Every structure is written in structure tokens, then in C-alpha cells.
Structure 1
Amino acid sequence: MPEILGRYVNIRGRRTYFETCGDGPAILAIHTAGREGRQWQGVMELLASRYRVVVPDLPGHGKSWPLAGNECLQDAHDIAQWLRDFAASVIGDSFIVTGCSLGGNLSLLMGATFGEVRGVVSLQGCDFTPTFTDTALDLMTHPQVSLMHANMDFSMSLVGSKSTPEGRAFSEWGVLSIIPVAQQGDLRAYGRCDIRSLMEKVTVPVLLAHGSEDWLASREMVEATKERLVNASLVRMVPLPGLGHFPHLEDPARVSEMMLTFFDEAGL
């Protein structure tokens, strides 16, 4: 089994944890809202023979220290810039970017705005996700709300019926170990994300993947995003029957095979 290595790097003066696996062209992978990079480990191991996959924990997530004042980032553009700073420190000036949910949105945003990005794989990613109200988000850090209990049914309903048992179990663990401030900040960024006007700036190859059982980021939302990628050198949209909102965690083998097929087609 390929070795996954974890270490810390200082980004903007804060200790940031990341894991890396494999050798070859770099892939920056972004975790979903409120979670951390371990959810990518299955995919990391399967891509390791051809790619170096690098997965950070965003500030205040997993093992990464929060920002000053115990805060987390709350805007998609701010998170994307932080990821650019991280990539400049750890990867260099050329990488493929992938992510899921909020991470999928961020992958599209980075592909539109950063010249270092040479390919995008967006899982459950869209350019417009007005999905959460401010009232719901405010309650996530209310002293009388246990987000772990309040979020369990919501999060687990997003897991597809064809998920592996390991993927389902770790999805549940993600809820049990939730950090409310991190979840709130990420979902503020997700719910306010509107990068539709930037999609025409994407010129690199793009893969959009959609789990058929995801009711939050709908197929219609992903298809609308695809229609706005008018200048991308290659666009592919791949349905993933039986999977939900976390395909890379639910079925790493299927997602890795899909990614490798796309990389071959795109020359990445």
C-alpha cells in the first residue's frame, strides 16, 4: 500500500496540516465543508502510482490550527486564495485541482482565476449554490444547539445507497467529530457562492462528476454549470449512479478510475 505522509507547514503564520501520497504531477485535493483531508485517502492511494496527491486541512479543520481569534474562512474567494498560498508553498507553480461539494466549487473558481491550475476535477461542484439561509447557519454555533446531533440525519441522507461500508462509516464519523465554527464558515462560503460570471474564464480541461443520489447539489445545477464552461479546452460530465454527495469517500475506486480516464483523455 502506498505510504501517506503527514506534516505541518506554516501558511500565513498558522500551522497547517496536510497529507501527501505518490509521485508524479501534482494534484491538490480539497475536502468537503466542515470536514478534513482524510476523506481523500482512498483516492490518494489509488492515484499514487502516477500522481502526487496533496490534501490540506483548511484552517480550523482537522489538525490545522484556526486563524487568529479561533476563526475560520467564510468566503469562497478567500478560501481559494488561501489554497493558492498553500499550493505555492507545498506544490509549486503547476497542479491539477480537485474537490467535492464546496471543494468542487473552489476547484472551478481556482481554474477560472489562477494560472497555476492546469486541470479541474469537480465532484458535486457548481458555480451557484444558494442552499443555506443565514438563520440556519447562525444556529450552528448557538449555545443551545448540538450540531453533531442536529446535523446527523441531514449529512447521512446525502450518502448514496452504493457507498462502501467504510465510506458510510467515515461520513458518520465526520458528523460525530464536527467543529461548528468550521462547518458554519464553510457553509457560509458555499451558500453564498456565485461564480457564474467567471466560468467563461476557465480554459483548462474540466471534469464534472455527479452522484445521482445527491439532492443538495442537483444534476440540474451541475448541468447549468457545464453550459457556462464555454471556453474550457475539454468538458466532460460523468454521472455516478448510486453515489451521493461524497463520491470520493463513498467509492474511491470508481472515482479514481474516472479521474484516470479523464486525465488520459485530457493529456494531464
Structure 2
Amino acid sequence: MSSTGAPAPNSTEWHDYLAENIGGTELIVIWTFTGLALIFASARWYVRGWMQHKLWSDDYLIAISVATGITACALTSVSVAKGVGRHVEALTNEQRVTATLWVYAAYCPSVLSFGMPKLAVIALLVRLLIPGRIHFWVLWTMGALVQLALIGVVASAMGLLFGRCRPIHYALDRENVARCLDTVTWMHYCLFAASFSAFVDFYLAAYPSIVLYSLQMSRRKKVILSVALGLGAV
């Protein structure tokens, strides 16, 4: 929902402006990538579960991640149906409040869908590369901390909005939400959480390459395995 660059009301461009809607494009993008993730995950589960008759902890973590992604897409679809993707001026105040409520509902599973795959990658790397005791705890501690950081993004927003907004419906009103939420501080925290998440991704991508480099195997195998495990981390 946006009001940036709005033409003058009742001008020749006004009706076209009100009719603009990018919600459909948003849905195509998120459902496409979520569908691809589901296809690849299903292929993995088929090989592991049906052919090898063995599912590991990373397979279950991937299932949770895919489930959160699908949930986020479903809730986002509802928010688009309620008006997300259209300009603010095209919605009534009640429609704005309803659309914002569904955006909040989609926020939590959306954020979790970014964090859960990291735990799956850590479980895979621990099983394949067998790190030392200290490094084992370093990996899992990083995974836990990044989950807490991402959950904190959602918890802080919900707590500040619904805990401080009086009357509470201001939390769902785009024009009044700034009264409840210190957006500058919150954005700084979001930047920290995103940076930490990116650092963990980089670490999980680089770690297999460092370990494989010291093993006695051909350079071709090292490159192939490093790329495969590195892409899995990303």
C-alpha cells in the first residue's frame, strides 16, 4: 500500500492510479519460489524416505521450513485479497486496517521461513563433517541465536504495536502506527538481525570448503562438494 507520487484527485490519471494493483505480481513471485522449494524438498524426502528408508533431522527441519513458507504465502494471499498491493487512497480506512492485520499475521511465518533452513543446514553439516566438540556447539549456538534474533524482529514489532498502542486499533492504522512504534530503533534492530542472518549464511557456506580443502581427494571432487554444500547453506 503506497501513496507516493499520487496524482491530483479527480485528474485524468487519478482513476488509473486507483486501479493500479501489484498484489498479483507479488503472489506470482512468492508462490513460484515457494513452489520450487516444495518440489526440491519433496524430491529430497522421496529419495531419503522412500528409496533409502531413512529420514534425518535435517529432513524434518526442512519440512518445518517449507510449512512456514506455505503458511506465509497463504496469509499473504489473504492480505492481497484484502487490499495489499493497491494504493492507500484506493482503500477505505476499514480495508486498510483489515489488510494490515493480515500482513502482521503473515509476518511471523515469513520470518521463520528464513531462519529454519539454517538449522537444517547445520544438522546436515554436523552429520557429514563431524566437527569437534567446541565447533559443534559453536554451530548450534549460532543457529539458535539467529532464530532468536529473527523471532525478536516479530516479537518486538508485535509487542511495541499492540502493547503500546492506545486505542489498540492504532496498531492496524497506517497513519497512526508511528505513534506506537519507534520505527528508527526497530529498523536498526531489523538491520542487525538481517546482518547476523547473512553472516551465518556466509559461515555455513564457507565452512564445508575449508574442511574439504584439507581432505585427501581430487580437486574436482573438492570443488563439486564445496559448491553443493555451499549452495545448500545459502
Same fold (TM over 0.5): no
Q: Which has the higher contact order (CA 8 A, sep 6+)?
A: 1
TM-score by length of 1: 0.25
Between structures 1 and 2, the one with greater helix share? 2
Highest Rg: 1 or 2? 2
TM-score, structure 2 length as denominator?
A: 0.27
**Which structure features the higher share of strand residues?**
1
